């Protein structure tokens, strides 16, 4: 179990390494956390090493911190709103913390949304589920995306296999209609769905 300061340091290390593909130096860590000397940072790093969260690469003295990929860890994301799995509706900002297993995340820029509707049942996305979304402006054919169309948000499967782009529902029983994307639509991909949380009972 990490202390609050150790958790802050570990989260910063993880985000930094994901963004830069190398670790920060001790001096950079000291400056980021506003400390007067290196000792406090080195003490926290030693605690992370003892708890199995990081190791030190002895061949690189400047940027020698390595994450160990501890399994079973979770992070807190904010559920930033509700997105429809039916007819598009506006995503409303309703911050709500949720614990997310780290293995569901992809990189550093993830967010969570609560699903409303049942148009994605055949993709195993049900009404009330929380989806984990990797923020990115592009997606590939067949990926499940969160997108906005003329200011309204929805979660659908992206269909770019032909001349017309569609957002496809995944519920054969309900027979929801695909949503065509026209050139004059204000269309934007917000991210791809990378994980899902569901509460039972």
Which pLDDT tens digit goes with each residue over 17-76? 878 878 899 999 999 999 988 999 999 999 888 877 788 877 666 788 887 755 446 677
Instruction: Note whether 46 and 85 are same-domain residues.
Output: no
Of 161, 159, 151, the C-alpha closest to 179 is 159
Catalytic residue among 5, 43, 119, 135: 119
Q: Which domain holds residue 120?
A: 74-197
Distance from chain centroid for Cα 78 = 10
Task: Write the CATH number for 94.
Answer: 2.10.109.10
Question: Any idea what the CATH number is for the domain that residue 58 is in?
Answer: 1.10.10.10
Q: Is the separation of the CB atoms in 81 and 92 below 8 Å? A: yes
**How many other C-beta atoms lie within 10 A of the C-beta of residue 42?**
13
Residues 94 and 47 in one domain: no
Residues 114 and 192 in one domain: yes
Told to judge if 119 belongs to the known catalytic residues of this protein, a careful annotator would answer yes
What pLDDT does 89 receive?
Answer: 55
* Catalytic status, residue 71: no
Same domain, 10 and 78: no
Distance separating alpha carbons of residues 113 and 103, to the nearest angstrom: 18
- How far is the C-alpha of 113 from the C-alpha of 128, rounded, in Å? 10
Whether 100 and 13 map to the same domain: the answer is no
Q: Kindly state the average pLDDT of the residues 138-143.
A: 95
Give the domain-ending residue among 30, 46, 67.
67
How many CA within 13 A on the CB side of residue 70? 19
Q: 120 and 170 in one domain?
A: yes
Percent of the chain with pLDDT over 90: 44
Count of the separate structural domains present in the chain: 2
Query: Which residue is catalytic, options 51, 116, 138, 156?
Result: 156
pLDDT at 71 (0 to 100): 45
Distance CA 37, CA 57 (A): 22
Picking from 16, 39, 67, the residue at the C-terminal end of a domain is 67
For residue range 162-190, list pLDDT tens digits in order. Answer: 889 999 999 988 778 999 999 999 999 99
């Amino acid at each position: 179990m990490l202390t609050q300061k150790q958790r802050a340091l570990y989260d910063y290390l993880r985000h930094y390494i994901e963004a830069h593909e190398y670790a920060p130096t001790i001096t950079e860590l000291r400056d980021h956390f506003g400390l007067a000397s290196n000792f406090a940072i080195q003490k926290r790093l030693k605690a992370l090493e003892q708890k199995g969260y990081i190791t030190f690469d002895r061949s690189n003295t400047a940027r020698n911190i390595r994450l160990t990929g501890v399994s079973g860890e979770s992070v807190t994301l904010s559920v930033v709103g509700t997105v429809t799995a039916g007819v598009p509706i506006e995503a409303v900002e309703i911050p709500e913390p949720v614990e997310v297993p780290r293995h569901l995340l992809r990189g550093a820029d993830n967010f969570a949304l609560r699903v409303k509707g049942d148009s994605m049942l055949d993709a195993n996305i049900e009404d009330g589920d929380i989806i984990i979304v990797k923020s990115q402006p592009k997606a590939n054919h067949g990926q499940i995306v969160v997108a906005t169309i003329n200011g309204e948000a929805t979660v659908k499967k992206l269909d770019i296999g032909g001349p017309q782009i569609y957002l496809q529902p995944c519920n054969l029983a309900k027979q929801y209609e695909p949503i065509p994307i026209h050139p004059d639509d204000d269309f934007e991909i917000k991210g791809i769905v990378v994980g899902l949380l569901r509460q039972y009972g």
